[in-house]
Amino acid sequence: MKKNTLKLLAAALIMSTTTVVFHSCSDNDDEEIVTTGIASDPNNFKGEVKSGETVTLDPSKVYKLTGAVAVKAGGVLVIPAGTRIEATGGTSAYITIEQDGKIFANGTAASPIVFTSPVATPGSWGGLVICGKAPINKGTTATAEVGNATYGGTNISDNSGTLKYVRIEYAGAIFTADKEFNGLSLFGVGNGTTIDNISLINGSDDGIEFFGGTVNVSNIVSVANEDDAFDWTEGWNGTATNIYTKRRANGVGNRGIEADNNSNDHNANPRSNPTIKNATFIGGTTGEADGIKLRVGTYGTFDNIVLSNWATGINVEHDASVTYFNGTNKITNVKFETVNSKASAKSTAGSSVTVLANTYTENNSATGAGNGINTPIWANGWSGL
């Protein structure tokens, strides 16, 4: 009898810190997945989701992100609709999804997932980082600026999970020119990953940045961030549909798009060559006041673009990018609204280049993200606008 009592007590202790659920595998066998206790104390959410573990947050609780969370290879972090995560650990608080780890953050328009800070100040925490195994041009693999996780590889369809209806507020920080936090940083993320209806608000660096990879995104809001709204480098090859960006009302902020291939080798492969469609970029005339900056060898295709309140609408630099865009009709259906200079170009040597006809085509009926310079209908409510 005493032995049975001890067994029951031991089982109760185990269950107080560990939840066991069952997941049906493709072969119809039941696989036991253990949800560990890093989320068991909502006031101290930090630590690792290890291989074989699934951590599922409780949407009825507010989680205090007091340090770094790392989802390791084989680990899964599930964040249900309506969950709120408040970062209280400064820039040491961030979430990294490492290669072969997964995040499933499935919010809804009525119940978005919110990552924020109780201190409503840009740069209050580190943001969300995803590292995949899709190709980059910095090397076969590289190390992420945040979390020191490996990224890059050869799997264009790599799957890091799902982000839907997620709002990220007050994130980002600039430590050095080579170490920066953004709202959402996508390092070598593959096109098996789903990313749509994402809002990046009041960050201290870029709203969203792609470091290579092949991931496709849609319905992206990037507003009132202190650096660029939408940024790519290292060979990103994906699509972005429906983008709405706006600089802060006081003029703080930089470009709508900052687009790079590789600053050390402008012709590095895979070359950055995304497709951008249905986008509105609202800016200012101070700082780096380009609606779209294309440089260091990036390629790309753009259609249905609204550019409002910029010193320069389209700015192309460096020989490889200038040759690709100048006069080649890669930028179509653009509406310029209160833009001082519609387009400019410079060679790698820094000399001005004449912008040829058909570098861009204009269309005063272009709708951009869907509603011109006004908030698009798809962003109402959940995005924080």
Q: Which residues on neighbouring strands pair with residue 360, listed in sequence order?
A: 331
Q: Calculate ∠ Cα 104-271-322, nearest 5°.
A: 130
Q: Residue 332 is which amino acid?
A: T
Q: What is the mean pLDDT of residues 257-286?
A: 97
With 80 as the cut, is the pLDDT of residue 2 above it?
no
Distance CA 192, CA 124 (A): 31
Q: State yes or no: pLDDT of 33 exceeds 90.
A: no
Q: How would residue 249 be classed by pLDDT, with cut points 50, 70 and 90?
A: confident
Q: Looking at residue 35, what is its pLDDT?
A: 42
Tokens of 278: 């249905």
Closest CA to 213 of 116, 129, 148, 308: 129
- Residue with the two structure tokens 């590789």: 262
Least confident of 20-29, 101-110, 266-275: 20-29
User: Could you count the other beta carbons within 10 Å of the beta carbon of residue 309?
Assistant: 19
What's the average model confidence in pLDDT over 314-326? Answer: 98
The DSSP code sequence of 16-71 is HH-EEEEEE-TTS-EEEEEE-GGGSSTTSEEEEE-TTBEEE--TTSEEEEEEEEEE
pLDDT at 36 over 70: no
Q: DSSP label at 323? A: H
Provide the 3-class DSSP secondary structure of residue 190: coil
Whether 29 shows a pLDDT value over 50: the answer reads no
What is the rounded distance in angstroms from the CA atom of residue 344 to the CA atom of residue 355? 6
Instruction: Tell me if 241 sits within 8 A of 277, measured CB to CB.
Output: yes
Please check the confidence at residue 73 and state whether its pLDDT lies above 80. yes
Is residue 39 scored above 70 in pLDDT?
Answer: yes
Is the pLDDT confidence value at 14 over 60?
A: no
What average pLDDT is seen over the chain? 90
Residues 279-303: tens digit of each pLDDT:
999 999 998 999 999 999 999 999 9
Fold category of 44-379 in CATH:
Pectate Lyase C-like (2.160.20)
DSSP letters, 85-128, are EEE-SGGG--EEE-TT-EEEEE--SSS-EEEE-SS-STTSB--E
Unique residue bearing structure tokens 């840009």: 122
Q: Which residue has the tokens 């798809």?
A: 378
Residue carrying the six token digits 């509603």: 371
Rounded to a whole number of angstroms, the CA Rg of the chain reads 22
Residues facing 272 on adjacent strands: none
Domain positions in the chain are 44-379
- 19 vs 339, residue with greater confidence: 339
Torsion of CA 61, 66, 68, 70, to 10 degrees: -30
Residue 140's Cβ-count burial label (10 Å; 0-12, 13-18, 19+) is: exposed
Cβ atoms of 297 and 360 closer than 8 Å:
no
Percent of the chain with pLDDT over 90: 85
Secondary-structure percent of the chain, ordered helix, strand, coil, rounded to 5:
10, 45, 50
Of the chain, the percentage scoring pLDDT greater than 70 comes to 89
**What is the average per-residue pLDDT within 98-121?**
97
Contact residues for 48 (Cβ-Cβ < 8 A; gap 6+):
38, 69, 70, 71, 72, 75
What pLDDT is recorded for position 252?
Answer: 86
pLDDT bin (cut points 50, 70, 90) of residue 250 is: confident
| 171-225 per-position pLDDT tens digit | 987 666 667 789 999 999 999 999 999 999 999 999 999 999 999 999 999 999 9
E-strand stretches of 91-249: 95-97, 102-106, 113-116, 128-131, 142-143, 150-151, 161-169, 173-176, 179-181, 184-187, 194-201, 208-211, 217-223, 230-233, 239-246
